Structure 1
Amino acid sequence: MPSTPTLALVTVTGRREHAAEYHAYSTMLASRAAAAAGDLGWQVEVVAAEDTGVAGTLAAADRADALVLLGGEDIAPEFYGGARGYRGEGRHAERADEAQIALVRRAHDRGTPLLGVCRGLQIIDVAFGGTLVQDLGEGSGHRHDEVPIAQVMADHEVVLHPSSRLGAALGRSVVTRSAHHQAVARVGAGLRVAGRAPDGVIEALEHTEVPIIGVQWHPEDPASPRGQLAAVLGLLGAPAVARLAA
């Protein structure tokens, strides 16, 4: 009997003893993403990449019909040729970086639908040889600094390319919720820019040949426009037509 199509929801880590409030907030966002995917018909399996490492993460997501990479810590600069010591640098999760980059590359090879959210978009870019702006600078409109974690998200417009898959799903212009101090610099091979903020920051990427999409904002945030999360998840394809394991 066919099984329900599976979506692997890949987080950075299942524990952050050093940052309890941030972890609680991240867990809430992940729970909302999981619930929305479940409502669309996916069987959701959560994988914590830092905790399982490359081999464990690849094994846990091996039979997934679609993948979502969620937000979290800055990618370690070594993965994109950057240097440490930049403004706003915090802890890194190198095992998660390596595992998630490997997942993106395998998804490309297999043609598995993959969505990257915030850090997930940056992982996609780095996986294909792209680089990052390490800090957008003080006063950036993409997050609220020096506020409680629950208030860190900032609202801003993103203009989507009319021929992009995101543009077809969401329209030419969308209001988004974001909290990031880094951004895409050089776009990775095979990717194209699908959306930008008014200040020119790249807010969305799409692969030109396979169903890999990244958004820099958080459609899973509770204050995001109604229906936006479901629309973005819908770009992974309908579970009813996804590969069914015998």
Structure 2
Amino acid sequence: MVSNDSEPADRPRPLIGLPTYYGRGQYGVWDRDAAFLPSVYVTAITRAGGRVVLLPPEQPWSAAEVAALDGIVLTGGDDVDPTLYEATAHPRTQVPNARRDSFETTLYRHARQSDIPVLAICRGAQIVNTVHGGTLHQHLPDLTGFGPHEAEVKDEFAVVDVVTVPGTTTSATIGETVSVRCHHHQAIDRLGEGLNVSGHAGDGCIEAFETPDARMLAVQWHPEETLDDLRLFTELVNAAGDRARMTIDPTVEARP
């Protein structure tokens, strides 16, 4: 993005909300419940020019509270509750985290209502798909024709080549092809209403989709794990900055 030297140097960076999750944490002499999020998410947004507020999955935010954010990253994590898409749990589907599911579905609905840019990552992409009425494959290894989308070794990622769809914002942002780091045993089955596929793996697995207005970009992979390529985060932060400026001054035009 071309900088605008006429803008005030002290203009606040766009504020990006990142949902966290609860887990057991050990730090110092303590072993207690804590709100977690891998720091790479924070680093990616910060390097892309944003500032971060961490959102623990407590009581859902109201529409007015969400509207105070400039952008949102729906972060990765555990499997989405199958009841959100009216399915019975597969034996390999993780125990649902109803509190987080409720928090993030509400967060996304309010974001769309307030025209807040959203980048949805892995689990976040699946949350978005269910909100739009879509469904998920609950365990890819059970299905014929799909290659590995998660590494066999714990705490590692599979490398998957993704081809983007010409004419989409995803393609304009990251190019025609990209090698990505994946870790998902679930994937998009039926795409939700009002969503367009913007990238897929060689085996046909949907790896990216977006809304027609491009205010929501979703990827099934983990771009935060490749900090030397911040294009998706920069796209979000730039869109969030545009929204913040138009909120302050409605006569300001967004980037073309």
* Structure 2 length-normalised TM: 0.80
Segments of 5+ residues of structure 1 without an aligned counterpart are 18-22
1:200 Cα deviation after fit: 0.5
Report the alpha carbon displacement of residue 235 of structure 1 after superposing the two structures with TM.
2.1
Query: What letter is aligned with 1:79?
Result: L
In the alignment, structure 1 residue 46 sits paired with structure 2 residue 50: no
Paired residues of 1:87 and 1:135 also in contact (CA < 8 A)? no
Q: Which residue matches 1:194?
A: 198
Whole-angstrom distance in 2 between the partners of 1:225 and 1:155: 15
Residue 234 (structure 1) aligns with? 234
Letter in 2 for 1:96: R
Deviations 1:52-84 (A, max 9, x none): 13248x676441100001111101111011102
- The alignment status of 1:112 with 2:116, answered yes or no, reads yes
Amino acid at match of 1:6: L
Paired residues for 1:140-159 under 5 Å: 140-145=147-152, 147-148=153-154, 150-151=155-156, 153-159=157-163
Q: Does 1:10 align with 2:19?
A: yes
- Judged with a 3 Å threshold, the aligned counterparts in structure 2 of structure 1 residues 236 and 15 are, in CA distance, closer, same or farther, namely same
Q: How does 1:36-115 map to 2 (within 5 A)?
A: 36-49=44-57, 52-55=58-61, 61-84=66-89, 86-115=90-119
Structure showing the higher helix proportion among its residues? 1
Change (3 A) 1:59 1:47: farther
Aligned equivalents of 1:217, 1:185: Cα separation in 2: 16
How far 1:188 moved relative to its partner? 0.8
Alpha carbon RMSD of aligned pairs, Å?
2.5
Deviation at 1:204, TM superposition (A): 0.3
SS of 2:193 mapped into structure 1: coil
Structure 2 residue aligned with 1:209: 213
CA distance in 2, matches of 1:237, 1:42: 6
For residues 158-197 of structure 1, what are the structure 2 equivalents within 5 Å?
158-197=162-201
Deviations 1:65-113 (A, max 9, x none): 00001111101111011102x1422222111111211122112121110
**Sequence identity, in percent?**
31
Quick one: higher RCO (CA 8 Å, sep 6+), 1 or 2? 1
3-state SS in 1 of match to 2:217: strand
Unaligned segments of structure 2, at least 5 residues: 1-9, 26-32, 249-256
Residues of 2 paired with 1:237 and 1:35: CA distance? 13
- Please report the TM-score for the alignment, with normalisation by the length of structure 1: 0.83
Inter-partner Cα distance in structure 2 for 1:136 and 1:16: 29
**Partner-residue secondary structure (3-state), 1:120:** helix
Query: What number of residue pairs does the alignment pair up?
Result: 226
Instruction: Quote the Cα distance in structure 1 between the aligned partners of 2:243 and 2:14.
Output: 6
